[in-house]
């Protein structure tokens, strides 16, 4: 019942935001922009976004190998796309993380290690995104003289510091040792073995500098691909948004969409695009239209994940019940 109520609430938020935005955006201008669009740009934009998702699978593959989990890349890519599909139906990007983590945990029978790899994957990605936002903000402020973006720069720096510091804390053996004492309390004692396994799994990353650095670089490449996806969407609408602003706002928008208040970011995406791009003088009708086409591309590129999930579910229902093992 709680899940159903939460889902209904997300749907209500998405529909409510869309309805509200329709009263704030000049729909006639949006219609004019859409009618004059060159939709051929959307084909390479879609391919770039598919590439970005596949690149995200490569990052996770590297982090899994750092845990000692040896699985075929095609399996990692499959679960990545399944998670991407569920991003559109469960709370923000967190829902997709749960689905891909659950699938990989069943596949490898290494639940703690898989869960930790998903968390580290998300943290490394956010660090890369915020780093890009900081650099882009500096360029926009000091090269393009957009002094009004100083608060955005400060927010990006604070976000980066918090994420990096949090990552350092969870990797700290001393901090995790102190946390372990909490599980000596009678009420938490049953959860002590679970915490111990998660803590041990985190140790795999304490000295995996090469894997973490490579994952960080791959995250930057993922961001570049998604940024150029937005850029091609803008070009299909006749231009009007410099690439540097996309590099600045795209990672921040991705961070905002982690808040689980809507279905797949629908409504929230259409609200934040006009807000952020309005700071640099982009017409709200253009930013709103870009968000709509980006949402369309997200839905289209998530369909392979839905097909993969359905095939796995159908195969599981036909096969005899037995644990799924990773190939050796």
Distance between CA 227 and CA 225 in Å, rounded?
5
Q: Of the candidates 52, 49, 61, which has an alpha carbon nearest to the alpha carbon of residue 214?
A: 61
223 phi-psi bin (left φ>0, alpha ψ -120 to 50, beta other): alpha
**Up-side HSE of residue 89: CA atoms within 13 Å toward CB?**
13
CB atoms within 10 A of CB 310: 12
Candidates 129, 188, 116, 121; CA nearest to 155 is 129
Between CA 35 and CA 276 the distance in angstroms is 24
| pLDDT tens sequence across 69-115 | 999 999 999 999 999 998 876 654 557 888 899 899 989 888 889 99
Name the helix (H) or strand (E) containing 45: helix 42-66
At 127 the pLDDT is 95
Nearest Cα to Cα of residue 129 among 256, 232, 279: 256
pLDDT (tens digit per residue) in 256-278: 887 766 666 778 888 899 999 99
What is the pLDDT at residue 320?
Answer: 45
- pLDDT-based confidence at residue 10 (cuts at 50, 70, 90): low
Least confident of 122-131, 152-161, 185-194: 185-194
C-alpha dihedral sign at 251, 256, 258, 262: negative
Over residues 286-324, the pLDDT tens digits come to: 999 999 999 999 999 999 998 998 888 776 655 444 444
> Which burial class, exposed, middle or buried, applies to 318 when counting CB atoms under 10 A from its CB (0-12, 13-18, 19+)?
exposed
Cβ neighbours of residue 199 under 8 Å, at least 6 residues apart? 176, 179, 180
Model pLDDT for residues 30-58, shown as the tens digit of each residue: 888 888 899 999 999 999 999 999 999 99
pLDDT tens digit string along 204-244?
898 899 999 999 999 999 999 999 999 999 999 999 899 99
| Rounded-to-integer distance, Cα 265 and Cα 92, Å | 6
φ and ψ at residue 324, rounded to 5 degrees? -90, 125
> At which residue do the structure tokens 């845990």 appear?
67
Element (H, E) at 125: helix 111-142
* Predicted local confidence at residue 9, as pLDDT: 64
- Maximum CA extent, the chain: 66
Which residue, chain included where needed, has tokens 């231009």?
239
Residues 6+ positions from 29 with CB-CB distance below 8 Å: 283, 285
| pLDDT above 80 (res 21) | no
pLDDT at 323: 41
Is the alpha carbon torsion for 314, 319, 323, 328 positive or negative?
A: negative
Tell me the C-alpha to C-alpha distance, in Å, between residue 303 and each of 9, 56, 84, 85, 268.
24, 17, 9, 6, 21
DSSP state of 91: B
pLDDT at 322: 43
CA distance 71 to 74: 8
Predicted local confidence at residue 289, as pLDDT:
94
Q: Give the whole-angstrom CA distance, residue 327 versus residue 111.
A: 16
- pLDDT, position 324: 45
The conformation of residue 64, written as its DSSP 8-state character, comes to H
pLDDT in tens, 179-211: 777 877 777 777 777 778 888 888 889 889 999
The answer to whether the CB of 114 falls within 8 A of the CB of 101 is yes
Per-position DSSP letters for 76-115, written without gaps between them: HHHHHHHHHHHTTTSBHHHHHHHHHHHHHHHHHT-HHHHH
What's the whole-number average pLDDT of the chain?
A: 86
């Amino acid at each position: 019942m709680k899940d159903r109520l939460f889902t209904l609430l997300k749907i209500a938020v998405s529909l409510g935001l869309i309805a509200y935005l329709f009263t704030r955006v000049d729909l006639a201008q949006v219609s004019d922009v859409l009618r004059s669009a060159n939709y051929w740009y959307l084909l390479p934009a879609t391919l770039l976004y598919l590439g970005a998702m596949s690149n995200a699978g490569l990052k996770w593959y590297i982090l899994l190998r750092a845990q000692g989990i040896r699985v075929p890349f095609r399996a990692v890519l499959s679960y990545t796309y399944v998670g991407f599909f569920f991003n559109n139906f469960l709370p923000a990007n967190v829902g997709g993380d749960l689905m891909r983590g659950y699938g990989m945990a069943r596949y490898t029978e290494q639940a703690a290690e898989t869960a930790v790899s998903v968390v580290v994957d998300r943290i490394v990605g956010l660090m890369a995104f915020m780093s890009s936002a900081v650099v882009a903000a500096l360029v926009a402020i000091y090269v393009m003289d957009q002094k009004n973006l100083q608060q955005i720069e400060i927010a990006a720096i604070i976000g980066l510091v918090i994420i990096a510091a949090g990552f350092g804390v969870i990797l700290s053996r001393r901090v995790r040792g102190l946390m372990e004492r909490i599980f000596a309390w009678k009420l938490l004692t049953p959860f002590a073995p679970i915490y111990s396994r998660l803590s041990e799994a985190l140790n795999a990353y304490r000295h995996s500098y090469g894997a973490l650095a490579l994952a960080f670089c791959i995250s930057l490449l993922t961001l570049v691909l998604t940024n150029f996806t937005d850029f091609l969407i803008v070009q299909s609408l006749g231009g009007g948004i410099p690439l540097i602003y996309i590099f600045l706002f795209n990672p921040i928008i991705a961070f905002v969409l982690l808040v689980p208040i809507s279905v797949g970011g629908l409504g929230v995406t259409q609200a934040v695009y006009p807000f952020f791009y309005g700071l640099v003088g982009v017409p709200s009708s253009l930013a709103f239209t870009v968000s709509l086409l980006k949402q369309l591309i997200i839905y289209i590129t998530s369909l392979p994940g839905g097909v993969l999930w359905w095939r796995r579910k159908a195969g599981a229902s036909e096969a005899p019940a037995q644990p799924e093992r990773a190939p050796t």
